[in-house]
Structure 1
Amino acid sequence: MPQFCFLLSIFLTLSLASLLVLASQQDENPTLQERTYTDPFIIFNRKRNAHACMMSIVFLVLYPLGAISLHLPLPSFLKSRIRIIPTLHAPIQLLGLAMMIGAMGLGIDNALFLGFFSGGASMVPAHAIIGLLATSMIILIQPAMGILQHRHFRKTGKRSVWGYIHRWNGRVAVVLGMVNQGLGFQLTGIGTVVHTHSLVRNFLVCGLLAGVWFGLVVWDALRERRGKEGAVEQGGVEREDTKIVK
């Protein structure tokens, strides 16, 4: 109990000191503080930066990592103990979905502020059109198709048309989001608002994770094809052996 009171007193003291510092700063320059919280251009810049940062994390990091988790070459003893979809794939994609919805709201708000949707279709930039298309594909299709495929797999243990739609719709949407990031940088202004080192850093991350993702997809497809060919060859040998025995 004394330790708790001691820690509580320290916490209250630090909190009071922080409030006094903030109050003194506001008293020293109230005009600057008022401009910081009410200037539309400053608020727009913050929303634009938050939109770019969140979308970059979603389409360059979270969605590729969630897709990579499905193609991890795990040993057989780990495959029987770790359920990839409920433990890795679904939580990562749900986190990305939540962040994407928030970033989409900021993007729409910024587009309305700039008047992109008030001057006709010719005034809407490609970044806004592709962004709405990619996010709509994910919001409207991905969760529903994933749930239907999961329910079908639990009943039959096989893939379904829902799974193929979920897979390819997600791949197309993520690739559109990656491409759309470059269009967003171009719209904002490369070399002025967007620094060159930020552009290089983001596309290095994009190239690394996208390369690993596509490589694992190709490797998984080749492995599955070889497994089917081996099963067909074994089936043909068994039928020939049966005929000889008869």
Structure 2
Amino acid sequence: MDGALMFIMYPSSENEDTYPTIIAQTLKDAASGHDTPSPLSNVNITVQSSTIENSVMTANIICQNCAGDQSHQSVDISSTKQPWIWATGPGDTGSNVVSSDSQDADINQHNNYGVFFVDMTATKSNSSAVPSISGKADIDVKPLPSSVPALIIIHAVCLTGSFLLLFPLGVVALRWFKWVRVHWMLQVLATLICLLGLVIAIAFSAMDPEYSAFGEGHQIIGIIVVVALIVQAVAGYKHHQDYKKIGRRTWISNSHLWIGRVVIVLGMVNAVLGFSLAGSTPETIGIAIIAVVVLALTVAIAWFGAKRSKSSAIPLGSSEPSSIALSGYNTPRGEDNSYRPGYGEGPPVRGEGNNYTRGSGEGQPAQGHGFV
């Protein structure tokens, strides 16, 4: 709520059953976004009328410069759906109840809040009188399900954990340790978790009027990233099948490689955007720092792993003696043009990094495993 324009009402100390105290306030430079707001001296408001009846406070207010003042977030008077936040509390009885004539009374944090929308074009008037606004007199207000906060946490854990832990580990497993099976298992697991996180996000966004339009950048990027992950998984499977047959990369392989790189970076960026959308400044900064560190380490390990593989390869045209039996080149191929299992060492097969690998073990076809 940092920088928000607020209209705050609480009972007057002298006429607490009749007239409320009304003040325009804002919150500035609050580290957490939650603190006691301060009065705005440069906002020109006129209270036309105010009453308290049956514990319900009503006020008609005219604001001459709420749309253009720079001391707070401006009101968009051209919007037909301007979002507002309502809040009440923290209590109706006891020490929590505020009763004061002061415009800077110490008020505790609210315990009930929600979102509503106003057609601001109907609130403009050149007259000093309060404009007549047509619309619904009775509004059905429904609270968000109590499960929404828990769903948001699960969503954050799923997506943040996938892009800051599982996907980077999958890259390291392949690039450094050459663990092909561990690589694809981690990537498939992370992709499934991201799908679950997306379904959860769609569910709680549909419940919240503020996000049900799916117009936030975090939502749009998130959908694109998860769709790209599905394409990435299909490309990875096709790459693996083709590579077993022909022993080299294809355009599918390169697509799998570059989609993976872009998706991991976008996923990390979107994780930071998600925490920013939630209004958690310290957490946003923390996640951003972690994302940068994880990305830098992943790139460094992948680069050194590729360099290590290249330095240990048998170079093309090398004059060094080879222990590979010449007869190995005559190992028969099957109908699908792939090497059939034979005896002894298989032929040298060029890996994805232009490196030769050798078949080993009885009855094992020679295969080269590169990295994705």
Distance in 1 between residues matched to 2:308 and 2:180, nearest whole Å: 20
1:210 aligns with 2:295: yes
1:106 aligns with 2:200: yes
Distance in 1 between residues matched to 2:312 and 2:163, nearest whole Å: 32
Distance in 2 between residues matched to 1:117 and 1:200, nearest whole Å: 23
Change (3 A) 1:190 1:51: same
Of the three residues 96, 101, 112, the one matched with 2:190 is 96
Amino acid at match of 2:257: R
Shift of 1:41: 4.2
Structure 1 stretches of 4+ moved >6 Å: 224-228
Of the three residues 128, 134, 140, the one matched with 2:219 is 128
Report which of the two structures shows the higher radius of gyration computed on alpha carbons: 2
Distance in 2 between residues matched to 1:143 and 1:214, nearest whole Å: 21
Q: Deviations over 1:121-162 (max 9, x none)?
A: xx70100010011111001x1121111111111112211211
* Structure 2 residue aligned with 1:63: 167
Structure 2 gap ranges (5+): 1-142, 320-372
* Structure 2 residue aligned with 1:160: 250
Shift of 1:93: 1.0
Distance in 1 between residues matched to 2:317 and 2:308, nearest whole Å: 15
Amino acid at match of 1:155: K
Q: Which has the higher contact order (CA 8 A, sep 6+)?
A: 1
Amino acid at match of 1:65: L
Q: Do the aligned partners of 1:116 and 1:125 also contact (CA within 8 Å) in 2?
A: no
Distance in 2 between residues matched to 1:210 and 1:135, nearest whole Å: 19
TM-score of the two chains, using structure 2 as the length reference: 0.43
Distance in 1 between residues matched to 2:285 and 2:211, nearest whole Å: 31
* Structure 1 residue aligned with 2:135: none
Q: Do the aligned partners of 1:44 and 1:110 also contact (CA within 8 Å) in 2?
A: yes
SS at match of 1:40: coil
SS at match of 1:124: coil
Change (3 A) 1:212 1:225: same
Distance in 1 between residues matched to 2:275 and 2:235, nearest whole Å: 32
Taking the TM superposition and a 5 Å limit, the aligned residue runs for 1:4-83 are 40-72=144-176, 74=177
Change (3 A) 1:232 1:116: farther
Q: Deviations over 1:160-184 (max 9, x none)?
A: 2111111110111111110011111
TM-score of the two chains, using structure 1 as the length reference: 0.63
Distance in 2 between residues matched to 1:97 and 1:155, nearest whole Å: 26
CA RMSD, aligned part only? 2.7
Distance in 2 between residues matched to 1:115 and 1:171, nearest whole Å: 34
Tell me the matched-pair count: 178
Q: Do the aligned partners of 2:276 and 2:284 also contact (CA within 8 Å) in 1?
A: no
Shift of 1:216: 2.5
Taking the TM superposition and a 5 Å limit, the aligned residue runs for 1:144-223 are 144-191=234-281, 196=282, 198-222=283-307
Q: Do the aligned partners of 1:63 and 1:96 also contact (CA within 8 Å) in 2?
A: yes
Change (3 A) 1:51 1:69: same
Amino acid at match of 2:254: Y
Distance in 2 between residues matched to 1:40 and 1:114, nearest whole Å: 7
Distance in 1 between residues matched to 2:225 and 2:210, nearest whole Å: 18
Q: Do the aligned partners of 2:144 and 2:208 also contact (CA within 8 Å) in 1?
A: no
SS at match of 2:147: helix
Shift of 1:234: 4.9
Structure 1 gap ranges (5+): 1-38, 236-246
Distance in 2 between residues matched to 1:199 and 1:106, nearest whole Å: 21
SS at match of 1:107: helix
Distance in 2 between residues matched to 1:117 and 1:190, nearest whole Å: 17
Distance in 2 between residues matched to 1:209 and 1:118, nearest whole Å: 32
Q: Do the aligned partners of 2:205 and 2:212 also contact (CA within 8 Å) in 1?
A: no
Distance in 1 between residues matched to 2:262 and 2:210, nearest whole Å: 25
Shift of 1:220: 4.3
